[in-house]
């Protein structure tokens, strides 16, 4: 075994300063160990399930003219015998064994199970088997699902993420270095599915913004992985003139700010000029030296692809143009005819709900990251 690199006293973490810090350090180590153990147990369990499914397939395939335990009733017989041998154990019902058989049939090569599909929770694998029937699509989701909860995986399958990812019109290939451009292009989606939002006729950008922030967690899920909410109606002073950003996010995996400008109607060429200013302003006034180049996402109800391509062609800052789709059911927009004071009260109440949801979401994610596991 190779020698471990020497660690200087300046690199080693110092001892905890108090008992409380010492306790938190020990608790963190235990949680990480538990997460690693759970991951290893899950991998072993999935491998056993695959082997059981493979053996069921083999025995059913060898049936031929024979009957009995190798015949069609093998699953029912095996379920009864296993539940008798392991009373109280879960996972050996007839339904579970059928999933195991489907699992082995879907991924017939054992080497496929690690580190991709074999690292997934069994519930994720059952969902993939339930919802997806062709091998390439199922493999596409299986390769990415380890970072998603089961609910997130179901959402992405239902909204056909594999058809929407990386399809936004952008100038990333010209405005960013190749590796960086490919990484940020992969997180774009067209359209962005906002099925939890319902826009009334005559709604404005501010209405859309409030509807999205009313359920910030689902909005971040719609945007993609790794987005953290950094502010709304962000005021920036440039040359003595105030400019206001609709929404500002930070994308942690690519270490950059993302400016989002919401538009109710079809994309217009002048939208890109304003976004160009916003992106440059965030780079100059908010981003740190270690942050990568800020990018801008213009979310529109519709777009003309030719107009979007030509508009972005001569712009040096990285900008993407993408569409969004709202749902038939979701957040209802307040009546535009409401009195100004009532509208202000509604908006303040909406902001309070947003702040509470952001705080709850941040606390939950902090616990998940500490535990080293997803919900």
Q: What is the pLDDT of residues 76-85, one digit of tens each?
A: 999 999 999 9
Instruction: Note the pTM of the prediction, 2 decimals.
Output: 0.67
Q: What is the pLDDT of residues 112-140, one digit of tens each?
A: 665 667 788 999 999 999 999 898 999 99
Tell whether the model's pLDDT for residue 8 goes beyond 70.
no
Side-chain half-sphere CA neighbours of 231 within 13 A: 10
Give the DSSP letter string of 278-310.
Answer: HHHHHHHHT--TTSPPPEEEEEESB--HHHHHH
Between 205 and 338, the more confident residue is 205
As given in the structure block, the two tokens for residue 15 are 């001892």
Q: What is the pLDDT of residues 267-279, one digit of tens each?
A: 999 999 999 999 9
Q: What is the pLDDT of residues 246-305, one digit of tens each?
A: 899 999 999 999 999 999 989 999 999 999 999 999 999 999 999 999 999 999 999 999
Euclidean distance between CA atoms 60 and 72, whole angstroms = 7
What pLDDT sits at residue 281? 93
Length of the chain (residues): 375
3-state class percentages of the chain: helix first, strand second, coil last, to nearest 5: 55, 15, 30
Distance of CA 139 to the CA centre of its chain: 17
Mean pLDDT, to the nearest integer, of 325-342?
45
Residue 134 φ then ψ, to 5°: -100, 145
Q: Residue 221: exposed, middle, or buried by beta-carbon count in 10 A (0-12, 13-18, 19+)?
A: buried
The rounded mean pLDDT for the chain is 81
Q: Tell me the percentage of the chain whose pLDDT exceeds 90.
A: 41
Tally Cβ neighbours within 10 Å of residue 154: 15
Tell whether the model's pLDDT for residue 353 goes beyond 60.
no
For each of the domains in the chain, give its residue range(s) and CATH number, in order of start: 19-158 (no CATH), 164-371 (3.40.1350.10)
């Amino acid at each position: 075994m190779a020698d471990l690199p020497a660690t200087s006293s300046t690199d080693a973490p110092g001892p905890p300063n108090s008992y409380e810090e010492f306790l938190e350090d020990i608790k963190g180590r235990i949680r990480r160990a538990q997460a690693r153990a759970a991951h290893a147990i899950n991998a072993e369990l999935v491998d056993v399930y695959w082997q059981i499914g493979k053996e069921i397939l083999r025995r059913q395939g060898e049936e031929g003219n024979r009957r009995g335990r190798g015949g069609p009733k093998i699953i029912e017989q095996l379920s009864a015998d296993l539940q008798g041998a392991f009373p109280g154990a879960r996972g050996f019902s007839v339904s579970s064994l059928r999933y195991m058989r489907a699992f082995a049939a879907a991924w017939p090569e054992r080497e496929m199970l690690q580190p991709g599909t074999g690292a997934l929770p069994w519930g994720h694998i059952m969902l993939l088997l339930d919802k997806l029937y062709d091998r390439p699509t199922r493999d596409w989701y299986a390769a990415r699902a380890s970072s998603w909860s089961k609910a997130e995986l179901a959402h992405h399958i239902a909204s056909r993420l594999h058809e929407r990812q990386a399809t936004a019109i952008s100038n990333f290939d010209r405005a960013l270095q190749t590796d960086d451009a490919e990484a940020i292009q992969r997180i774009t989606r067209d359209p962005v599915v906002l099925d939890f939002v319902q826009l009334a006729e005559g709604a404005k950008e501010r209405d859309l913004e409030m509807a999205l922030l009313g359920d910030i967690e689902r909005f971040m899920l719609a945007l993609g992985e790794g987005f953290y909410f950094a502010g709304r109606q962000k005021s920036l002073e440039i040359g003595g003139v105030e400019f206001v950003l609709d929404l500002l996010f930070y994308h942690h995996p690519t270490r950059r700010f993302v400016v989002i400008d919401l538009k109710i109607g079809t994309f217009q060429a002048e939208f890109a000029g304003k976004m160009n200013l916003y992106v440059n302003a965030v780079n100059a006034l908010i981003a740190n030296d270690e942050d990568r180049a800020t990018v801008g996402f213009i979310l529109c109800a519709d777009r003309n692809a030719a107009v979007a391509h030509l508009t972005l062609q001569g712009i040096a800052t990285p900008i993407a143009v993408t569409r969004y789709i709202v749902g038939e059911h979701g957040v209802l927009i307040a009546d535009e005819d409401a009195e100004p004071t009532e509208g202000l009260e509604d908006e303040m109440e909406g902001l309070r709900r947003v702040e509470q949801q952001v705080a709850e979401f941040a606390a939950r994610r902090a616990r998940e990251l500490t535990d080293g596991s997803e919900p």
